Structure formats: C-alpha cells, structure tokens
Amino acid sequence: MSAPLSEQQLAEISGRVDGLDRDRIFKGGAWKSSPVDAKSVLPPQTNFAVEEVLKTGDCVIRASVAVFADEKLADFTAAAREDVPALLAEVERLKAELATARAAALNEGADLLVAYCPDHGSKDTCTMSCHCGGADELRTLATQGGAR
C-alpha cells in the first residue's frame, strides 16, 4: 500500500486539472480517443489520437491533445480528463466520511470511559479511579478532527 497523499500533493493534482482549461482557445470540449483518420488534425503516420472535440450547433472543432501508437494509452488519456476530477472529488468525500467516523469513535470511547467511572458512571462494574479527564480529551480530539 502506498503512503497517503499529502494535502500539498492533492492541491498540486487539483491545480493541474484546473490548469487544463486555463489559457485555452476553447473550453469544455470532451476528450475523445479514436484512430487517426481524414478528420484528424494529425499526420497519418500516428495510430491513435486524443482530441478535444467541441460540438457547437452544426460545427465540430477538434484540437489535438496527444498522439499514441497504443490504443489503450489513448483511451486512458482521454478518460483521464473526467476520471481525475472524479477521483479528487471521491478523495474529498472519503476524507469527510473518515473524519466523521473518527469523531464518532472517539465520542463513543469517551462515553464508555464515563460509563465505567466510579464517580460519574452508570455501569455496575467500575474502575478504581475516575477517568473522566481522559474522556474529555477524547471528546476534544473528536471536535478537532481526531487523532491519527
């Protein structure tokens, strides 16, 4: 398993995605992978092209993104235009879900500490000393985003 991506790495990836449309003549075209043909804007000696295709009314505008000799690489590159932003959004969703689950687990642990406290708890079997301070620390960690 690889190391988790840092916030800086995620920001750099996001910046590269955002930069795809910066300084472009036209924006919002779909990336398509296809064999090079008479409509392509590339020389015929290349095998597969990834082109940005913008359809406006009866007009189709094509701009070359990349050329490949391998169809699978062309398909992968064309899909990356939509896949990478989707993956970044999923990373953010999972990070939020993890933070929520971590806070819930810390709060549950704090509740158990208090439940078994001889001074404040409701359980029949209690510990010898009060651990409510530890419970407070767990709750503080839960509100601060949890501990790793």
CA 145 vs CA 45, 103, 114, 135, 138: distances in Å: 55, 7, 21, 16, 11
Alpha-carbon distance of 69 to 46, in angstroms, equals 6
Between these two residues, 43 and 132, which has the higher pLDDT value? 132
Domain residue ranges of the chain, discontinuous segments joined by + = 7-143
What is the b/e burial string over 48-75, where b = at least 16 CB atoms within 10 angstroms of the residue's CB? bbbbbbbeeeeeeebeebbbbeeeeebb
**Phi, psi (degrees; rounded to nearest 5) at 51:** -125, 145
pLDDT digits (tens, 9 = 90+) for 30-60: 777 777 666 665 555 567 777 777 766 777 6
Assign 129 to helix, strand or coil: coil
Q: Could you tell me the pTM of the whole model?
A: 0.67
CA–CA gap between residue 100 and residue 105 (Å, rounded): 9
Q: What is the pLDDT confidence band of residue 148, given thresholds at 50, 70 and 90?
A: very low
The pLDDT tens digits of the residues spanning 62-115 come to 677 777 777 888 888 888 888 999 999 999 999 999 999 988 888 888 887 777
